[in-house]
Structure 1
Amino acid sequence: MTVLAKKRIPFPRLINAAHCLTPFEVPADLVEAPFSAGKAQVSLEVAEQLSQLIHHVGGEKQIIVTSGYRSYAEQQCLYEHSLTKYGRAHTENYVAKPGCSEHQLGHAVDLGFADTTNDEVCPTFEGREVSQKFLASMANFGFVLRYPKGKEVVTGIAYEPWHFRYVGRPHSEIMCQQSWTLEEYQAFLRDGGEVYGNHDLR
């Protein structure tokens, strides 16, 4: 089994249909995700920052983590189950193929409201004051909305108001300031873009 390195990498890793993980890659520092009732795991730093963020927005009794880390095998089961239950069109819009899911990194979470029944693929996390506060504050704690509305062509995934990715600061702040997806941010860096003091971009 290959274990992903614990040390911080310079820039957040891009995982999508073109940049996949092997079946054997597993985060080295998985812990219980906060507000998941023991049903989900995430990497340690993600857990710490997410807990602080949820407390910051007063969501302790309103927000739950419906999904965190998923192994390659778990993602394969979810993908096949979604194909059977929802069909190919829905599945290709909302469920990544095995190896192509950020959940395997341990740096992604799906969030839902504690007082609703949340779908396993598409939980409910939109239209309430606490979810708006979460969106407004997430960048300060290293999180971004990974699949925003209007960026479907870029990400290859439909709008998912429940799916958040931990990229760390200052990456989260830059991405939110520029309204960039991780694909767009990586392209900026790949093309020679640099980040200067106070997030000035050149």
Structure 2
Amino acid sequence: MGHLVMSTGSMRDAMRLLTAVERTPEQERTLVTVREQCRTVDGRLHAQGIDLDVSVAQALEELLDGAVTAERGPGYHYALHALISPYFSDTHDLGEWRRQSWFWTVDEEVSRTGLPARLALSQILLSGPPVRLPPAGDSTPWMGTFPTELAAEFVAAHEAVLGRLDPEVRETVEVFLKAIRCEAEAWASTAEGLRSRQDTMFFWCS
């Protein structure tokens, strides 16, 4: 399936770059980096024998112009990831995952304990991009988002049921608990007036 990572940041700032009518000098400087990253991804894919109908670099320009030309294609997802990345940090490496369906298996097991569906792993990891994009057309890349202010609730709910889970499922849940617990603790230690409801956990698999 691919390699999965989680990072945190302000989705509002990323979306402002995408939707700005007149960009600030700082936004223009950020775009220089984003465009270079898109070209780098295109080069890496080409080296793997993958040439997209809509390149990542072209997809970025189409997203910025609000004029998407294709009905599907992973280039748009790679481009959005490149655009979001400058505004996110505190990256957690969640490892390699062979198939998306495993997370549905995890949810089926955890749901038996009464865990709310809105806290289910597949609902979070596969929730999709923060803006409407053409389908990627394959199992990867994919992305999901989850509000950082709900990190503590996620941790408490899953920790409460760990002892009732199948060992393999529990191992998976613990991978995510380790990362999300860090964000819950960081949120709790931040002064209330400095917290932003726009702070987001961003999951990316490619």
Instruction: Tell me which structure has the larger Cα radius of gyration.
Output: 2
TM-score > 0.5, shorter chain as reference: no
TM-score by length of 1: 0.31
TM-score by length of 2: 0.31
Higher helix share: 2
